Amino acid sequence: MKKRRQLAVMAAIWMLGGIHAAAAEQEASVTTDIQSGGVSIRMNRYGDAEKKQEWEDVEDILPGQEIPMITEIENLGEDCFIRYRIRAEAESKREIPSASFRGLPDDCVQKGEYFYDTNILEHGEKEELFTAFMLPETWEQEEEDEIRIYVTADAIQSRNFTPDFESENPWGDTRVQKVSEEEKENQLRVAVPQKGLCRVVVEGDRIITVPDSFFSELGTVVPGDTVQGEIQIENGCEQTEAVYWKLDSEEQTLLNPVELKIEKSSGAILYQGTIQEYQTDQFALLGRYSPEEKDSLMFTLHFPEEMDNLYRLLNGQMTWTFRAVSETQEADFLQEERRETVKTGEESHLFLLLLLMGSACLVLLLIRKRRADE
């Protein structure tokens, strides 16, 4: 009988960690998807004015001979501004003037080594950089020489960016980064940030979330963008309901540096900081609502201008969870939340304690068994 009693005690100790009180509250979630955009350009070069023949190296060039060389930039990504640098070098080190490039666009301004296009290049559009190359007629043909032409083009998103074409450095101190990853086809979705709406209705024995299409999918954002959303709360029950909420974004590269502000219609701020700093899995009280009472929750997401190519073409998700609890159930719900907080914060300590207690019981059993055998 003693052995049975000891086994029962040990089993009871191990079971303590798995006992939870169950409350009959209502819960619903809605997920907001966000995608970051990216600037992407491609250079095309043709050997004829109709752009049917791709460019091929020319063996013999004579001074004063105009060689068709249609060079253009195609925008595969977000609307952008472009700048480019063109130069020609001779193997003999003889200087080749920039006037050798013909057909430069009229809407470009030259500042230093770069030509800046003053117009926005929209997604899918193409811009010719120059159309031909010609050595000066005064170029003396002393011996065979090799000419190399170099073209470098940069692009920067036009949204949230205003160049100063009157200055000597129109793009300011912008640092142009190379995109190291391979381009992904059909990734681009252009969307102007708007305001999304989600209705949360407590009705009978359930809670309903009704997001509009924009709330569910905020679209494509770029550095400097600010997007907003509104969550409307409505109590359709015949009794007062407490509505709790929490936000889950997990560990996501795109959303970590994003600045989040959540406030009620009264102006009370529920949270302000980066999403990465939002480190709680616990529900927070949104408010207690009488029958037919309504309220709203506003959130603002700001994507810092400093977000660089590391954040391009990424996806992020935010899951909003709402829980409605009646007055008779709220005490049990809060008790459960406190228990979950303790469990989360001291999980490792509890595990070690149970492990030590279990080990002690096991050792005690082995000692007594050994004495009984003797």
The pLDDT score that the predictor gives to residue 253 is 65
For residue 257, pLDDT beyond 70: yes
For residue 184, pLDDT beyond 50: no
91, 55: one domain: yes
Evaluate whether residue 86 is within a structural domain.
Answer: yes
**Which residue range(s) make up the domain with 207?**
27-35+195-325
Q: Which residue has the higher pLDDT, 219 or 69?
A: 69
179/176 Cα distance (integer angstroms): 10
For residue 135, pLDDT beyond 80: yes
Structurally, the chain folds into a number of domains equal to 2
CA-CA-CA-CA dihedral for 198, 199, 204, 207, to nearest 10: 20
Evaluate whether residue 268 is within a structural domain.
Answer: yes
119, 216: one domain: no
The pLDDT score that the predictor gives to residue 304 is 77
pLDDT band at 346 (very low <50, low <70, confident <90, very high): very low
221, 153: one domain: no
CA angle 210, 213, 215 (to 5 degrees): 75
Q: Which residue has the higher pLDDT, 65 or 352?
A: 65
Determine which of 71-80, 199-208, 311-320 has the lowest per-residue pLDDT on average: 311-320
Q: Which residue has the higher pLDDT, 298 or 189?
A: 298
For residue 197, pLDDT beyond 80: no
| R_g over Cα of the chain | 33
Neighbours of 262 (CB within 10 A): 22
**Which CATH number belongs to the domain containing residue 134 in this structure?**
2.60.40
Q: Is the pTM value of this prediction over 0.95?
A: no
Determine which of 149-153, 263-267, 344-348 has the lowest per-residue pLDDT on average: 344-348
The pLDDT score that the predictor gives to residue 117 is 92
For residue 11, pLDDT beyond 50: no
User: How distant, in Å, are the alpha carbons of 38, 268, 275, 308 from that of 179?
Assistant: 10, 42, 26, 10
228/234 Cα distance (integer angstroms): 20
The pLDDT score that the predictor gives to residue 348 is 47
**Which CATH number belongs to the domain containing residue 309 in this structure?**
2.60.120
